[in-house]
């Protein structure tokens, strides 16, 4: 923080400690049980005397004040003053992480040397992977990994970029950036309606044959390059399979039309800078094992 705010914190903290100390000792000077020395409060026939705190209670307050002063000398708390020990929460975090890494390094290195398929069902790997998933992935994919609107279900066999260990690990390391273009300005409202009908027909839904036939021409012109002529998608491009009835953004007429009209731009973050190689390997095994 700046020098001004550092001094602001120091002055306010010092004034607060001084005032608390003054109030404590100022109320210690009264004589106990002085005739007529009451607060004026009466409840159920009991009158409250205006006596100072009991000695043991008073000393507890004194101890807390001494502790506060000692703490502010030893640890940071007075603006930019670092404290006698120079302690920081960042340094403590780094030390604890380093100690944990050293403790579990041999075990993680052992798993790193084994194929994902081999460790995917290992109870210890499942337990570690579940914790990593909860900390890094559950916010989007759900604690049960079954996804949500716009976030893939990781427990089925439908994979945008492939469900092999290699593909899953590549997704975790590099992330993914979806690029479904918007076709509204090119197809127009009628073209969107026709293409929607054809896309619905790919998964066996009942649609108007004339609309679907017209939509097929649009599909082959604009969509087949990514989703394939048969609509079964392309893992290399992350293009979804449109023929299996599984919809990332919903499969209703309105939702499909919206996807065609406005496009989609989903983002899967990269964890290469967040998780170490061994942790990514274990997390890969956990995700892979969800469908086994």
Residues contributing to the annotated binding site for heme c:
137, 140-141, 180, 223, 226-227, 268
Would you state the structure tokens that stand for residue 162, as one six-digit string?
Answer: 């492939």
Could you tell me which of 156, 118, 152 has the C-alpha nearest to residue 285?
A: 118
Cα gap 271→35, rounded to integer Å: 74
Number of H helices, E strands in the chain: 12, 4
Backbone angles phi, psi at 43, to 5 degrees: -140, 120
34, 44 Cβ separation under 8 angstroms: no
Helical axes 277-289 vs 165-174, angle rounded to 10°:
130
Angle at the Cα of 160 from the Cα atoms of 241 and 171, rounded to 5 degrees: 170
Helical axes 55-74 vs 3-26, angle rounded to 10°:
160
80, 6 Cβ separation under 8 angstroms: yes
Could you tell me which of 241, 289, 291, 266 has the C-alpha nearest to residue 123?
A: 289
91, 82 Cβ separation under 8 angstroms: no
Name the binding residues.
137, 140-141, 180, 223, 226-227, 268
């Amino acid at each position: 923080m700046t020098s001004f705010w550092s001094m602001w914190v120091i002055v306010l903290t010092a004034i607060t400690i001084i005032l608390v100390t003054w109030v404590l000792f100022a109320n210690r000077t009264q004589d106990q049980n002085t005739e007529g020395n009451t607060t004026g409060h009466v409840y159920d026939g009991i009158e409250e005397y205006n006596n100072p705190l009991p000695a043991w209670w008073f000393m507890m307050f004194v101890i807390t004040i001494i502790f506060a002063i000692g703490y502010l000398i030893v640890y940071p708390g007075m603006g930019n003053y670092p404290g006698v020990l120079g302690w920081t929460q960042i340094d403590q975090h780094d030390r604890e992480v380093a100690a944990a890494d050293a403790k579990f390094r041999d075990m993680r290195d052992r798993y790193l040397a084994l194929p994902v398929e081999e460790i995917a069902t290992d109870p210890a790997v499942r337990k570690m992977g579940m914790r990593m998933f909860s900390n890094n992935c559950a916010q989007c994919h759900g604690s049960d990994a079954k996804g949500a609107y716009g976030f893939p279900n990781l427990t089925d066999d439908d994979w945008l970029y492939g469900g092999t260990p290699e593909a899953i690990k590549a997704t975790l390391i590099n992330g993914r950036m979806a690029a479904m273009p918007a076709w509204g300005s090119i197809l127009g409202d009628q073209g969107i309606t026709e293409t929607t009908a054809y896309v619905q027909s790919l998964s066996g839904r009942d649609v108007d044959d004339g609309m679907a036939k017209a939509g097929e021409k649009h599909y082959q012109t604009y969509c087949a390059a990514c989703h394939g002529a048969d609509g079964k998608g392309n893992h290399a491009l992350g293009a979804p399979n449109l023929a299996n009835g599984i919809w990332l953004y919903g499969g209703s007429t309105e939702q499909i039309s919206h996807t065609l009209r406005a496009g989609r731009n989903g983002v899967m973050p990269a964890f290469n800078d967040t998780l170490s190689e061994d942790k990514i390997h274990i997390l890969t095994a956990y995700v892979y094992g969800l469908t086994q």
